[in-house]
Copies of this chain bind each other. A is one copy, B any other.
Amino acid sequence: MKSAQIPKTDKPRVVIVGGGFGGLQLVKSLSNADCQVVLLDKHNHHTFQPLLYQVATSGLETSSIIYPFRKAFGKQKNFIFRFAEVQKIITETNTLETSVGEISYDYLVIATGATTNYYGMKEIEERSFALKTIEDAIKLRNHVLRNFEEAVLTSNDEQRNSLMDYVIVGGGPTGVEVAGALAELKKHVFPIDYKELNIVEMDIHLVEASPRLLGAMSEESSKKSLEYLQKMGVKVHVGISVKSYDGYTVTLSNGEKLISQTLLWAAGVAGNPVAGLNEQAILPNKRIKTDAFNKVEGYQNIFAIGDIAAVTTEATPKGHPMVAQPAIQQAVNLAKNLKKIFKKDTTLKPFTYKDLGSMATIGRNKAVVELTFVKFQGFFAWVTWLFVHLMALVGFRNRFFVFFSWFSSYFSYDKSNRLIIGDKEQTIHEHQQNNT
């Protein structure tokens, strides 16, 4: 029989579920704490999600944006990793049921992040692509490249267009960044790779239900990103939503129909909670309600940080934005509080969010940046975006590889990782042919 085989010590055991930005920071911040730190994750590596879109669009190789947990913390003495999926929390006995057996905890920190929100649209969930894991990114990259290999084979105009056209739903950073990266492939890479095709046939649609792109940023940034994308040839549809998608035809709320075998759904996220918490702790958007100390409502020794946590206070009735910064800052604060708790010190510090700003890149020399006191766009914003993302990566090696990839790509206008790796997928196209 399997058992998690976690050694018993006389120190308190902190179990962290999920090694995203929050979980990773918490492990690090507890490195000198007098406790056992157990990290559980269903991947054996951290994923730097903000750059997944570059893997999906052949700009970066897979390994440079992911980092093995055991490598990251191999030398941290109080660190234990288990490659495990958590199935249920048994709060009565302070125990987790996991894929590797039962694990007991003294303190539990839920850092399971967010998952894609399809708002109940099963049809879209089954047929669209998402961008939350490294596997998602590889799948999308394979699909785009396969589509182009298929497109050279058909003399049917509509079919060829269904392969060459892309529909991205959601005008947040992910949607904007993917649209921009595809526009760059269209301009610089695909015309050389696929001389047989008339590249002007490639249409990139970005569909956003609200009236503007990058809704979390200022009007100024929205306007500028729209301008950039349109200049790059992206067809932006704002104030319009997707009504249905059968894998081939996208029907928009204004009645317009787009033909595409690729719909990327980047239109919403929801919390990704673990089963077993009481119902009052779970909000309608599946986030977990916590107090200002990241303590989950109704429990004394269960905490939540990052995207999954809605730190619900008077100042933040809906919690913080579901991005990296709140997760990291909550982890740092929680680590301090946990260390106090271990010492029976009750002067805990409530979490306060320091908004460092936000940014999105659209393409070479094009980005929008908003810091606390200043907004700017264009080349300098783009350099800022590059620098911030480079520094946020885990490990010198990954930083070096990403830097070199960006550097060489900037001068060559190339995206080198146009690689189809893995088993053959049955394309929707083939699927339809088989059915007819």
Contacts and interface: CB of A to CB of B under 8 A. Distances in A.
Interface in A403-417: 404, 408, 414, 416-417
Interface string A1-36: 011110100000000000000000000000000000
Contacts of A118: none
Interface residues of A, number: 51
A169 to B, nearest CB: 25
A314 interface: no
A135 B71 contact: no
A341 to B, nearest CB: 27
B421 A134 contact: yes
Contact of A63 (B61, B74, B153): B61
A419 B68 contact: yes
A138 interface: yes
A146 to B, nearest CB: 8
B419 A45 contact: yes
A8 to B, nearest CB: 13
A83 interface: yes
Nearest to A192: B74
- Number of copies of this chain that the complex holds: 2
Interface string A70-89: 11001100001011000000
B5 A194 contact: no
Contacts of A7: 196
Contacts of A5: 152-155, 196
Contact of A61 (B61, B145, B416): B61
Interface in A87-122: 100-101
Contacts of A145: 44
Nearest to A409: B397
Q: Which 6 A-B pairs have the closest CB atoms?
A: A61-B63, A70-B193, A83-B149, A74-B192, A68-B418, A44-B420
Interface of A: 2-5, 7, 43-45, 61-64, 66, 68, 70-71, 74-75, 80, 82-83, 100-101, 134-135, 138, 145-146, 149, 152-155, 192-194, 196, 397, 400-401, 404, 408, 414, 416-423
